[in-house]
A and B are shown apart, each in its own frame.
Chain A
Amino acid sequence: EAQVTQNPRYLITVTGKKLTVTCSQNMNHEYMSWYRQDPGLGLRQIYYSMNVEVTDKGDVPEGYKVSRKEKRNFPLILESPSPNQTSLYFCASSLRRGEKLFFGSGTQLSVL
């Protein structure tokens, strides 16, 4: 089944404790991206990748890192999480930029 797999679904952590949210797609998509969703603000793009080893900042990249070593995986890394990173996070992919987006199921992150 074609899908974007995102883990974990829920995560509670404490300030400063490094964490990684994983994202994997099985559709051979070139474009992958991360978003955060906050009440009243909607979805905002954090980082995106147009292909292996090609990544770029979105609108809200501060405090986040990404890597794209393989085409299927695009992990989101929070080196030192802070409470203002408490949010609902989504990974998405598309065959190429601008084409239909496929979303992961989301990760609800709480940073205490």
Chain B
Amino acid sequence: KNEVEQSPQNLTAQEGEFITINCSYSVGISALHWLQQHPGGGIVSLFMLSSGKKKHGRLIATINIQEKHSSLHITASHPRDSAVYICAVGMFTSGTYKYIFGTGTRLKVLA
């Protein structure tokens, strides 16, 4: 079992729909990151969370530390939101600090 699991792997939505992408992890973390990777390949950081909820425009990210679960919500989705969304956790382990990434959720928003 992967230490960071995302669901769904693929998601197709109609423009305007409310979208939720989930991330579950099995390790103790210091922070969780949501990243966006566009078809051209570039990666952009959307959020960094250690507790609670953050909002930026139409994007909302939440984290529940006790349940080891985070969600990324997109309200009023638009075709330009089409991308791969990646969950990553940062953790201290054996005296080092490492990142573990989920395999991503590929989102396609249709006009």
Contacts and interface: CB of A to CB of B under 8 A. Distances in A.
Interface of A: 33, 35, 40-45, 48, 50, 56, 58-59, 88, 90, 92, 97-103, 105-106, 108
B99 A100 contact: no
B45 A100 contact: yes
Contacts of A41: 103
Given A99-B48, A103-B42, A58 B98 contact: yes
Interface residues of B, number: 22
Contacts, number: 56
B48 A100 contact: yes
Contact of A43 (B31, B88, B96, B97): B88
B41 A40 contact: no
Given A40-B103, A42-B86, A102 B45 contact: yes
Nearest to B103: A42
A87 B88 CA distance: 19
A98 B98 contact: no
Interface of B: 30-31, 33, 35, 41-45, 48, 86, 88, 90, 96-104
A97 B92 CA distance: 10
Pick the most buried of B30, B99, B101, B102: most chain A CB atoms within 10 A of its CB. Answer: B99
A106 B42 contact: yes
A43 B41 contact: no
Contacts of A35: 99, 101
B43 A98 contact: no
B48 A42 contact: no
Contacts of B100: 59
A43 B101 CA distance: 6
A29 B41 CA distance: 23
A29 to B, nearest CB: 13
B22 to A, nearest CB: 16
A52 to B, nearest CB: 17
